Chains A and B, each alone.
Chain A
Amino acid sequence: MAGPLRRHLNVWNGVLLLSFAVIFIGVLYPMFFIFRASFVSPETGGWSLESYRAIFQYPFYLRCLKNSLFVSVLATALSMLIGVPFAFFLSRYEIPGKNVIKTLATLPLILPTFIGAEAWLLLAGRNGLFFNLFQKAGIEIPSIYGWKGIVLVFTLQFFPYIFLMVSAAINSIDRSLEEAATNLGAGRLRVFFTVTVPVVTPAVLSGALIVFYLCIENFGVPILIGEDFRVLSVQAYNEFISEMGGNPAMAGALSTVLLVITMGLTILQKYWVERKSYAMSAVRRPEVARAGRLPTLLMWLFCAGIVFVALFPFAVVMISSVTKTSGPVMYYGQFSLDNFIRAFTIAPRPIVNSFFLATVSTLVGIVFGLLVSYLLVRRRGKLSYLLDALVMLPLAIAGTVQGIALAATYNTGFIVLTGTWMILALAYFIRKVPFSIKTTSSLLEQIDKSVEEASINLGVPPFRSFLKVVVPTMLPGIVAGAIIMWVTTLAELSSTIVLYYGPWATMTVEIFQRMGSGEFGPASAYATILIVSVLVPLFFLQRYLGRDLTTAL
């Protein structure tokens, strides 16, 4: 007889238990740990609100908060200003080369932001290509350092989010909607402002929230290009990392402030914006109009121009990598492979590390993601709802905060991971697994439960039926998800910088450090390897699996 115990002793309850354990170790406990640390006084060791008082009292910390909000608001506004017309032109008008423009416009999403920052330093920083050119010509160009550079890089890297979301919204308006308005007597402008704009607005807001979130949690760009312009994530890192007088309470408090902001944004996104979506499946897509010659040319110039400005810096990085250098001085026009030879022969370790860590965390991530997705989609229960909320939690935590939390928690005590490669793999896994779960869950929802039951009915036990029938059906999607996980893990900097130690430096750390010490040549070589490692799999993804990265974001 199946006793109540035997009923609970199955694979899936084991998976459920394991999932909660993983989330507790990887997310909940570390978050609790720094939260608690933020209430400990650095002087007395007792409970206190000192750190929080300091943040809201001292102009220095308060300015970090204000700076973070300032660049994020500005970059979000500019992204909207660019992304909305960009989407509208490309969706509604015949523009030459629009497919190429669309594809290229999604690339900044996957190219690491801190390489964007590096690229602009190579172009317009002190000793930068343009900087030198303009200086020779006696023209003063505005400094790239500080908030201007941060906002510039953020805008160029994040506007595609707005573009993609707004495009999707525009294309989901059935033609009949606008026709109905016209039929009721509205003129073209009236239709646009009373129908098109309101229907698209939730998508714009949703995209804006995402961009705002990405700006405020970003670490690589402000630390590379911000110089004295400190933002929250950078200051939290500084407080945590400085060997002398490192202040864990202050790092914890700054992390908590950042956490409250990112959590708030995520909740807002989930409960407010998602509900206000008018998504419908358009039976007839809106008409693609042919504008006059001059308007078409202007629209083309706008779209192609933006894409060029967003991608050209990455080309400069690649050119720099094969240019003769000595320290920060670049001899543009003189070809040399020295940077690559050095990277591959003398210091190949970061490359190996990056590939190894990305591969390990991706493999673990897809297996875990698949099992958890199954629990969430097929075995709904009170516990799986809780699991659903918990596994998505890392999406609302800034990388720097996650890194600080993990490093602080597993430095001493029961489990010591700080200083091993495993803590990096754990951080990557935790950070990227929500994406894996999202993709596999939506795939799983498309496969009817009866397909599995048919297999069980034909004599295959449940778990084997899952492996034999469900997994093969989902395979293309799983591979696509794995590729996205792999490339985004390769490009991870914000938690890596906190968690790595000597021999486990990754390519991203190497690029960051070489930029810091003015070795532009080697930095560009690693950056180029990283860019190629990211773009090649994505090319195959698009070519052979018929998917692009937009499906996974």
Chain B
Amino acid sequence: MKVVLKGISKIFGKLRAVDGVSLEIEDGDFFTLLGPSGCGKTTLLRVIAGFYPPDEGEVYFGERLMNDVPPHRRETGMVFQNYALFPHLNVRENIAYGLRVRKVPDGEMDARIGDVIRSVRLDGLEKRFPGQLSGGQQQRVALARALVISPQILLMDEPLSNLDAKLRVAMREEIRRIQKDLRITTIYVTHDQEEAMAVSDRIAILNLGKLEQLGAPDEIYFNPCSRFAAEFMGGSNILELTALGYDEASSRLRAESGGEPLTLCIPRPAGERICLSVRPEWVRIVEDGGDDTIEGTVESTTFLGALVRYRVRALGGQSLMIEVHNPRSRDIRREGDPIRFRFDAERLVMLGN
């Protein structure tokens, strides 16, 4: 089922929790709403589920306008952050709840419950009550309960945030597997960019209630459109420069950075302010000076095994993050060491604001 949002706004008092968001979610997509807490992602999900009527805009499921359809008639399956299992019902009864409402005959009900229990690997726990389950098992029950009604759309509100780190990775892979098997349109809310990249077909980054950027995980990572998107999706260095002069022949732009001038390959009139994003792993450390190398001082060194992360002061006092993958022990620089590096002109991404 395709989901279309047109100019959705939700206002609480003076706060525009969701502010004019329009987007289309294709049938069968795993679509993630990503953003920091308070960005409006959960509010938007609840608008889609029908728990909040939008103050502006329209919600369509397929061709159908859903604004006036109450939440219990929307045929969405929702997985809540705290699972919201019914404490007085056991696992089986929790899963059967939605089927009973739909008056599914007993035989079919048994079959469907059996299927879903196998699919989320809850075999043998049917008679347990929610209080007797671990966090991961509760999560599976919540997922099974939402899936068993064969919803048109699966809604998930930070479903993994209450699990520990290892379980989180295992569960997200499982969720993705089940979603692919069922080819069910899924809208997933999270604040964890790594989780979002791992599971999503497409991601919408929200900031202060507004849609910041929309695209596949790699599109956003390699081409963030804004400073916020660049910083939120993976770490990023943000450089603010002033264009000096563009040379048509070499298609190179000289830019003033506060320290050494930089060379870019974008045409810009002299005097314009430019904002660039450089991922820490794209910065190359060099041994000897040369054109376009920059000199700085290591402020701190964090050794993480597979990579070493430096915080470096350079370019007239700006603080930059540099990551070196597969470091060799003898190459690791210490606090106070001088460091020389260069940016790859091709990989400098220009940001809107």
Q: Which residues of A contact B (CB under 8 A)?
A: 1-2, 447-448, 450-451, 453-462, 465, 469, 472-473, 475
Task: Name 10 interchain pairs, CB-CB below 8 A, sorted by A.
Answer: A2-B68, A454-B80, A456-B51, A457-B78, A458-B97, A458-B101, A458-B149, A459-B149, A465-B72, A473-B88
Cβ distance A473 to chain B, nearest Cβ, rounded Å? 5
| Residues from 116 to 162 in B contacting A, C-beta threshold 8 Å | 142, 145-146, 149, 155
* Interface SS majority for chain A: helix
B97 in contact with A450 (CB, 8 Å) = no
Question: B71 within 8 Å of A by Cβ?
Answer: yes
Residues 52-77 of chain B, each 1 if its beta carbon lies under 8 Å from chain A, else 0: 01000000000000001011111111
Q: Is the CB of B49 within 8 A of A455?
A: no
Q: Known interface pairs A450-B80, A450-B82, A469-B86. Does A455 touch B68 (Cβ–Cβ under 8 Å)?
A: no
B193 contacts partner chain A, Cβ-Cβ < 8 Å = no
A460 — which chain B residues lie within 8 A by C-beta? Answer: 72, 101
Tell me whether B84 is interfacial, beta carbon within 8 Å.
yes
Chain B residues closer than 8 Å to A469, beta-carbon distance: 86, 88
Query: Is the beta-carbon distance between A458 and B98 smaller than 8 angstroms?
Result: yes
Min CB gap A437→B, angstroms: 22
In the assembled complex, B87 has its CB within 8 A of some CB on chain A: yes
Q: Are B88 and A456 in contact (CB under 8 A)?
A: no
Q: A475 vs B51: C-alpha distance in the bound complex, in angstroms?
A: 26
Tell me if B81 counts as interface (CB < 8 A to partner A). yes
Give the Cβ gap from B68 to chain A, nearest Cβ, in Å: 6
B330 within 8 A of A: no
Q: Does residue B85 face the partner (Cβ distance < 8 Å to A)? A: yes
List of A residues within 8 angstroms of B78 by Cβ: 453-454, 457
CB-CB under 8 A for A451 and B84, given A457-B77, A459-B101: yes
Contact of B84 among A1, A448, A459, A461 (CB under 8 A): A448
Contacting pair A459 B102 (CB below 8 A): yes
Which residue from chain A places its CB closest to the CB of B155 in the assembled complex? A457
Known: A450-B80, A453-B51. A461 touches B88 (CB 8 A): no
* Contact in complex: A453, B149 (CB < 8 Å): no
Chain B residues within an 8 Å CB radius of A459? 72-73, 75, 98, 101-102, 149
- A463 to chain B: closest CB distance in Å? 11
Contact of B86 among A461, A462, A473, A475 (CB under 8 A): A473
Tell me the complex Cα distance, A453–B71, Å. Answer: 9
Residues from chain B with a CB closer than 8 A to the CB of A462 are 70, 72
Residues of A within 8 A of B73 (CB): 459
Question: Which 10 pairs, one residue from A and one from B, show the smallest C-beta to C-beta distance?
Answer: A458-B98, A450-B84, A454-B84, A450-B80, A457-B78, A459-B101, A451-B84, A472-B88, A456-B72, A456-B71
Contact between B68 and A453 (Cβ–Cβ < 8 Å)? no
Q: Indicate if the CB atoms of B86 and A457 lie closer than 8 Å.
A: no
Q: A454-B78, A454-B80 are in contact. Are A461 and B87 (CB under 8 A)?
A: no
